[in-house]
Amino acid sequence: MLRKEMPEPAHRQAHRHTAVVRATHWLAALCFLALLVSGLEIVLSHPRFYWGEAGNVTTPALFSLPVPASRATVPTGYGFVLPDQNGWSRSLHFEAAWAVVFTGLFYVAAGLYTRHFRNNLLPAGAGAYNLAQRLTYLFVIFVAFPLAIWTGLAMSPAVASVLPQAVSAWGGQESARTIHFFLTLFLVAFLAIHLIMITRAGFGPLVRAMITGRTQNKERS
Amino acid sequence: MSDITRRRLVRGGLAAAAGASGLAVAARLADRYGLIPPDHGNLYGAGDSLTYAAQRLLTRHSMAREFPRSSISKTPFVNGPPPNDEAFRKLQAHAQTDWRLAVDGLVARPASYSLADIRSFPARSQITHLACEEGWSYIAEWTGVPLAYLLSLTEMRPQAKYVVYFSVEKDWWDSIDLDDALHPQTLVAYGLNGGDLPLGNGGPLRMRVPRQLGYKNVKYITRLTVTDDLKRFGKGLGSTAPEFGYSWYAGI
């Protein structure tokens, strides 16, 4: 209460994240969680990966995951078949994909308008992040997420019919699926490191800063 | 309440109202132009509708990729056994004489074709990719009569909107809109890789919709019904797929 009545001077209460950054951060986080859970669930129906246009259990796999499958037709070495959860998983995956695309477009448009990228993420800016952080965030935002969306769309037979180059650029629909999986691994690794760094720098204050947008100077890290 | 807060509230309210009415108009327009799938009434309806509308607008006339003969997969993977009941085995054994494909509903000349009739119609062969929603796929050459040919032969009525197709498997029927039904690559297929369509791949007759995933390609089809309203069929979702949680439109 005391703090509310006597606002701290501006330099003590830095405005760390804009409302757009905070809202799109949490929307993207929610979408990514939905995409990850539903994506892993879909993979369980065929935990084998291929290169090229076509691949199935009668063709050699590039690699396969040592997990049980939700289809009896996939030889996994396990003596049981998991329940089929692909229906809702696929619909949730695509709904979350739409949501993350809209979130991303809004974030990028707002980021250009407010010079968020120039000030906080491009290497020459003067914001709070170091070079490795800037490059990682830029890579996740402008390379990994767009590539995940592209490889996801490249698996669609309808998209392939209208934009065949989107598929052939990857060497085929099964190649696109395999790369989609590796991009997921990269994004999961990013999330893990992101969470570790935040925990080390002070989980509570940083999460609060991403929710309220405000942080005290001593907590800026 | 300060002036700034009030102004922000008013502005936010106006933006929300504009957004909501914009969405309502978009939904009505989408519905009028047939861009809302029949199974939109669930938690994922927004995503499914966006996918269907976006892909419909982009792919109305696009052609599924066709591949060179060298791309054909060594094995056209058979996903599960055919029906195992006595009636199916009997029908299968006498398919050449007993198998019929009925065309009814919104057509001026309902018909029932034998396999010989269907083979006598102008055929189309195409080497296309068949992808299952699970993630596996194969490339094969499919031969059949374009569904569009059967619809012109039976004189489809102008109010038609969908073609529903039924199989000897009672729990696997589906439907497609006219963009797919009249698409030159949508076949009632009876041949695979130069031979008869094998039983395991859906022989003697299978719907082949190469711009959608495997489960829209219903095996062992026996009846096509042209309609303007999918609510009349089954649970009104356009297909049995939504009953198992899968979306009616499977372009992705």
**Ranges of chain A whose pLDDT falls below 70:** 1-15, 215-221
Q: B161 φ, ψ to 5°?
A: -130, -30
B64 touches chain A (CB under 8 A): yes
- Cis peptide leading into residue B204 (ω within 30°): yes
Nearest to A91 among B47, B64, B212 (CB): B47
* Angstrom distance (rounded) from CA B192 to CA B198: 7
Q: Check residue A175 and give its pLDDT.
A: 98
Q: Say whether B135 and A57 touch across the interface (CB within 8 A).
A: no
Instruction: Please give the model's pTM, rounded to 2 decimal places.
Output: 0.91
Q: What is the arithmetic mean of pLDDT over B4-18? A: 82
Listed residue (B166, B185, B140, B141) closest to B226, CA to CA: B166
Q: Check residue B30 and give its pLDDT.
A: 87
* CA–CA min distance A119, chain B (Å): 26
Contact B219, B206 (CB under 8 A): yes
Q: Say whether B46 and A95 touch across the interface (CB within 8 A).
A: yes
Q: Check residue B4 and give its pLDDT.
A: 65
* CA–CA min distance A217, chain B (Å): 27
What confidence tens digit (pLDDT) does each residue in B194-227 have? Answer: 999 999 999 999 999 999 999 999 999 999 999 9
Residue in A156, A163, A165, A174 to test binding to B, most B beta-carbons within 10 Å: A156
CA angle A76, A80, A81 (to 5 degrees): 80
Q: Check residue A219 and give its pLDDT.
A: 44
* CA–CA min distance A94, chain B (Å): 6
Listed residue (B132, B200, B80) closest to A81, CA to CA: B80
Q: What is the pLDDT confidence band of residue B2, given thresholds at 50, 70 and 90?
A: low
Model confidence at B9: pLDDT above 90: no
Any idea which residue has 């569009």 for tokens? B148
Q: Give the chain A residue nearest B210 (alpha carbons).
A: A157
* CA–CA min distance A155, chain B (Å): 7
B15 touches chain A (CB under 8 A): no
Q: What is the pLDDT confidence band of residue B71, given thresholds at 50, 70 and 90?
A: very high
Q: Say whether B75 and A159 touch across the interface (CB within 8 A).
A: no
Alpha-carbon distances of A26 from A183, A186, B158, rounded to whole Å: 20, 19, 49
Listed residue (A171, A139, A173) closest to A156, CA to CA: A173
CB-facing half-sphere around the CA of B245: CA atoms within 13 A: 11
B184 touches chain A (CB under 8 A): no
Q: Give the chain A residue nearest B213 (alpha carbons).
A: A157
Listed residue (B166, B137, B133, B152) closest to B233, CA to CA: B166
Residues 6+ apart with CB under 8 A from B150: B103, B113, B121, B188, B224
Q: Euclidean distance between the first and final Cα of chain B, in Å?
A: 50
Q: Say whether A157 and B58 touch across the interface (CB within 8 A).
A: no
Q: Give the chain B residue nearest A85 (alpha carbons).
A: B245
- A193-210: string of b/e by CB count within 10 Å (b at 16+)? ebeeebeeebeebbebbb
Contact B124, B145 (CB under 8 A): yes
Q: Which long-range contacts (CB under 8 A, 24 or more apart) does B112-117 make?
A: B113/B150, B115/B190, B115/B204, B115/B205
DSSP-derived 3-state class of residue B48: helix
Q: Check residue B212 and give its pLDDT.
A: 98
Q: Say whether B55 and A159 touch across the interface (CB within 8 A).
A: yes
* Angstrom distance (rounded) from CA B145 to CA A73: 31
**Between these two residues, A35 and B91, which has the higher pLDDT value?**
A35
Q: Say whether A157 and B213 touch across the interface (CB within 8 A).
A: yes
Nearest to A94 among B42, B47, B245 (CB): B47
Name the residue type at position B97: T
Any idea which residue has 């695509």 for tokens? A94
Q: How many residues does chain B have?
A: 252
Residue B195 in tokens: 């031979």
Say which range, A81-85, A112-116, B13-17, B58-62, has the weakest mean pLDDT: B13-17
* Angstrom distance (rounded) from CA B13 to CA B252: 37
